Amino acid sequence: MLAVMGTLSIACAPLWAATLSGTVRDPSGAGALNAQISARSESTSSVVEATTDDQGRFTMELAAGSYQVRISLAGFVTVERRVVIQEAHAEVLDIKLELAESHAEVNVRGKGETLANSDPNYRALRDAQPRETFSVSNIVLKRDRGTLTLKSGRISFVPPVLGRVTMAAFTGEGEFTLDPAVTPERDNLRLITGTDTVDESFARLALCFTDETYEEIKRQAEKGPDVAPERDVLNDLRHRLRHRPDPPRSLLEYLLTSESIDNVESDILADLYNPKRPGFFSAYIFGRKHGDLRFLVRPRGAIPQLLSPEEVAVLNADPGANDEGIWYLAHYASEYAAHRASSHEDKRIIHVDHYSIETAIDRRGRFAAVAGINFTTLGDGDRVVKFDLLPSLRVTRVTVPGGREISYVQEKRNEDGSFS
């Protein structure tokens, strides 16, 4: 169960007022952004509101008296507490926000409806558009051996889900560079591109992440009006990632769009539901020389379709380019430096113990199947599990022992129709 721990403290001010302040944190100790705090006076019904900052902190001025304090954050159960503020008195509240479960869909579905793509947090990620906008100047994002420099322009972030911001779109002037960590990868890069390093300028960039990218940029950027000229960037990215060409035009395109096609929002949701996971970082670069360059830093494997454990990759995903392909695929530079890089790393989150499949084919060639899977988790906290299921096979329902149906993710078969 995901929880947010918070501590509220009251500091006495003049006789007529006090300061109600606090910090809301996630289980990793990081502050929970954009938690909504409201304090309603029991005597006057007046309401004072505050929002936590990127450190999870808030403060509000209140007159002495009794209040109903409400702490809410999307995806968590709302907590309400009665607080009495007295002169020369301080009170401390310990707050636990439990992750909200979604059960309503089971009871309200009509005939023929399923729980596909019904998780409210998944829907919030799937439909999000950029809103919060900053002006940037020479902001440097260093991820392993890759460096993104946002020289000038504007960057817009989508609203937080479960208290975390996970997507952004940039327009302006930027540059991406990468210096390979090991000689074999440098040789591979030279073989494909003719150069030892990557150096790409760009005017547009999309970011998907579950690390501290939002906080890192916000600390260095200047807040601007919340208009989102970068909206088209994110829409263009989604069009690319949600399209399965049939047939694929290259081996790499087949690799990226087959049964293991990325559903970025599902990948993000897996990390949001399990904050114990180390965050990932994906940069989709609309470069001046290469229009679909991808820089991926993923702890569970940069290219899971290859079943390889390397965490860092650079891809040129343009099937019409002579230098299309996997430019760089390597372990973390720190692993090489510590002599810990290994091709035997196990990135799985489950071990399948047993499965059974019952199938039937009717006279018209229509195929139906029921699959049962018993598996053991290999870590703590995971709630999203991805399976390599051909998108042409459509799931109608998923149940757990006892017969209860649970939500699942499977978009249209010609889009990012992977199954989780």
- Greater pLDDT, 17 or 198: 198
Give 32's contacts (C-beta < 8 A, 6+ positions apart).
4, 6, 24, 25, 26, 52, 56, 73, 97, 163
Write down the pLDDT at residue 7. Answer: 38
- Greater pLDDT, 195 or 65: 195
Q: Are 170 and 133 in contact (CB under 8 A)?
A: no
Write down the pLDDT at residue 100. Answer: 53
pTM: 0.75
75 has a pLDDT exceeding 70: no
pLDDT tens digits, residue range 331-372? 999 999 999 999 999 999 999 999 899 888 877 777 788 899
Q: Measured between alpha carbons, how far is 70 from 245 in angstroms, rounded to an integer?
A: 49
Write down the pLDDT at residue 246. Answer: 79
The edge-to-edge listing of strands for the beta sheet with 93-98 is 57-63, 17-25, 3-12, 93-98
- Greater pLDDT, 412 or 100: 412
**pLDDT, mean of residues 18-36:** 71
Write down the pLDDT at residue 383. Answer: 93
Q: Which of 9-18, 255-264, 301-310, 376-385 has the lowest mean pLDDT?
A: 9-18
Helix (H, G, I), strand (E, B) or coil at 107: helix
52 has a pLDDT exceeding 90: no
286 has a pLDDT exceeding 90: yes
CATH 2.60.40.10 fits 3-98, yes or no: yes
If you average pLDDT over every residue of the chain, what do you get? 85
Write down the pLDDT at residue 229. Answer: 55
5 has a pLDDT exceeding 50: no
Write down the pLDDT at residue 255. Answer: 82
Class of residue 26 by CB neighbours under 10 A (exposed 0-12, middle 13-18, buried 19+) = buried
119 has a pLDDT exceeding 80: yes
pLDDT tens digits, residue range 201-232? 999 999 999 999 999 999 999 988 766 556 68
pLDDT class of 2 with cuts at 50, 70, 90: very low
Sequence-ordered strand ranges (E) for 158-292: 167-178, 198-209, 222-223, 281-287
- Greater pLDDT, 235 or 54: 235
Write down the pLDDT at residue 35. Answer: 79
328 has a pLDDT exceeding 80: yes
Burial readout 94-111 (b: 16 or more C-beta within 10 A, e: otherwise): ebebebbebeebeeeeee
**How far, CA to CA in Å, does 316 sit from each of 186, 258, 275?**
16, 17, 31
Write down the pLDDT at residue 196. Answer: 96
**pLDDT, mean of residues 168-176:** 96
pLDDT class of 271 with cuts at 50, 70, 90: very high
pLDDT tens digits, residue range 123-160? 999 999 888 999 999 999 999 999 999 999 999 999 99
Number of DSSP helices (H) and strands (E) in the chain, helices first: 8, 19
Going from N- to C-terminal start, the domains of the chain cover 3-98, 123-337
Write down the pLDDT at residue 36. Answer: 84
Class of residue 127 by CB neighbours under 10 A (exposed 0-12, middle 13-18, buried 19+) = exposed
Dihedral, 109, 112, 115, 121 alpha carbons, nearest 10: -70
